[in-house]
Amino acid sequence: MDLEKYRGSEYAKILIDETYSLLDQVPSQLRLMEVCGTHTMAISRSGLRSILDGKVDLLSGPGCPVCVTADRDIDLMISLAKIPNITVTTFGDMMKVPGSQGSLSQAKANGGDVEVVYSPLDAVKLARQSDKEVVFLAVGFETTTPVIALALLEAERLSLKNFSIMVNHKLTPPAVRAIVDTDTVKVDGFLCPGHVSSILGSDGFAFLADEYSLPAVVAGFEPVDILLGVNMLLKQIIEGSPRMENTYRRVVRKEGNKVARELVTKYFVPASAEWRGLGTIPESGLSLREQYRGFDAMEKFELEVPSTPTVRQGCSCGAILRGLLKPTDCGLFGSECTPEVPVGPCMVSSEGACAAYYHFERRVRV
Ligand code: SF4
């Protein structure tokens, strides 16, 4: 497919017309899943769903790192903020995420030392200037992990003894595999994440086509990128020819980012991880290598994993992250749960499906 044909708004109409034509040919109602919170937000913001309505359901998968973080991990972060002589540093998205014992914002209001930083390198800088222990809450997918590894490299170079991280990294392909393997929702094709694929390479999700005969397309984040990705998925379905395709070649190369992957491998090894809604998935997270355990806040401060249930009562985030429900199916959506007073992380995060629906699709959906 000639991608350049679709660059610029004058071509959007061509693409939309092509999509309508393809929709007339699809055999039945289809379910396509996006696995990236940025896609989720862009889909809601652009109104793409309305073009596909009636023929294609766009489901949001486990594509928001804040949303998939389990309650007990959030509780651990909050317990860390209560320890004297520790400064907890985090990306801003984590501040309002409720655990079973409140949020980091509340911990800060109650006297905890919690600082928002824009990069883990800022946390290293803070540690360098501080007498206190500085812990960075390392939450994120393959795109975030390299910069955290870079922070560890810098901390190592500076021989910092008061810097550590709480590791909550997640790896996206095992979660997608878990959805395909175990879920009751039949997904007809996957819109694969552009950012993650820029690290993994364009074949990072090729197992979907190779092992499960599912169409898979890596897409960028402009509305035309996403519509083009959907368009290509529809073509694969109509042709009965599932394969891995990449529409985001201006960013995603076949080999991905080898330097970033090597840096991550220097510090981390795959480990099992708990995902909100999906449970514990083998090899779907990371842990620090033995020789770098000095950077592990869990060990350094001898933290115990609390027995918090993974999903809070009344919140359907877990089912939404598996594509089983839409945000508007949750009884709390827009009433007890809003971005101002969120009940679950999917309403807090700037990449959360509930927040996307609340901000951009509430009027037409409720
Ligand atoms: S609307 Fe709120 S309570 Fe319902 S699933 Fe979303 S975050 Fe959870």
- Ligand 1 pocket, mutate which of 333, 338, 348 (most atoms under 8 A from CB): 333
Note whether residue 146 is domain-resident.
Answer: yes
Task: Give how far the C-alpha of residue 91 lies from the chain's centroid of Cα atoms, to the nearest Å.
Answer: 14
Residue 219 lies in a domain: yes
Looking at residue 312, what is its pLDDT?
61
What was the pLDDT predicted at 2?
Answer: 42
Q: Whose CA is nearest to atom 3 of ligand 1?
A: 315
288 ligand 1 Cβ < 6 A: no
Q: How far apart are CA 282 and CA 294, in angstroms?
A: 24
Q: Residue 365: inside a domain, yes or no?
A: no
Distances (CA, A) of 48 to 11, 223, 224, 328, 347: 15, 7, 9, 17, 20
User: 347: Cβ below 6 Å to ligand 1?
Assistant: yes
CATH assignment of the domain containing 38 = 3.40.50.11740
The pLDDT value given to residue 304:
80
Q: Give the whole-angstrom CA distance, residue 141 versus residue 144.
A: 6
Integer angstrom CA distances of residue 351 from 44, 66, 75, 106, 292 = 11, 8, 21, 22, 31
Residue 316 to residue 252: CA distance in whole angstroms: 33
pLDDT of residue 163: 98
Encode 38-52 in three state secondary structure: HHHHHHHHHCHHHHH
Residue 346 Cβ contacting ligand 1 at under 6 Å? yes
From the CB of 337, is ligand 1 less than 6 Å away?
yes
Tokens (6 digits) for 147: 């910069």
Q: Is the CB of 320 under 6 A from ligand 1?
A: yes
Structural domain boundaries enclosing 224: 1-360
Residue 354 CB–ligand 1 contact under 6 Å: yes
> Is there a domain that residue 118 lies in?
yes
* pLDDT at res. 5: 47
Closest CA to 73 of 332, 361, 304, 292: 304
Distance (angstroms) between ligand 1 centre and the Cα of 333 equals 6
Please count the structural domains in the chain: 1
User: Hey, how many other C-beta atoms are within 10 angstroms of the C-beta on 175?
Assistant: 25
Report strand pairing: 268-275 vs 279-288: antiparallel
**What is the β-pairing status of strands 56-60 and 216-219?**
unpaired
pLDDT number for residue 1: 42
What number of helices (H) and strands (E) belong to the chain?
18, 11
How far is 309 from 317, CA to CA, in rounded Å?
A: 13
Phi and psi at residue 246, in whole multiples of 5°? -130, 110
CA dist 41 → 45, 219, 223, 335 (Å): 6, 14, 11, 21
Q: Which numbered atom of ligand 1 lies nearest the CA of 319?
A: 5
Query: Does some domain include residue 366?
Result: no
Ligand 1 pocket, 357 CB below 6 A? no
Tens place of pLDDT per residue across the chain (366 aa)? 444 444 556 778 888 889 999 999 988 889 999 999 999 999 999 888 888 877 899 999 999 999 999 888 999 999 999 899 999 999 999 998 988 878 999 999 999 999 999 999 999 999 999 999 999 999 999 999 999 999 999 999 999 999 999 999 999 999 999 999 986 678 999 999 999 999 999 999 999 999 999 999 999 998 889 999 999 999 999 999 999 999 999 999 999 999 999 999 999 999 999 998 889 999 999 999 999 999 999 999 988 877 766 556 689 998 999 889 999 999 999 999 999 989 999 998 888 999 999 999 876 444
Pick the atom of ligand 1 nearest to 314's CA. 3
Of residues 85, 355, 62, the one with CA closest to residue 193: 62
Q: Which two tokens stand for residue 210?
A: 């190779």
DSSP state of 257: -
Output the pLDDT for position 365: 44
In a domain, 258, yes or no: yes
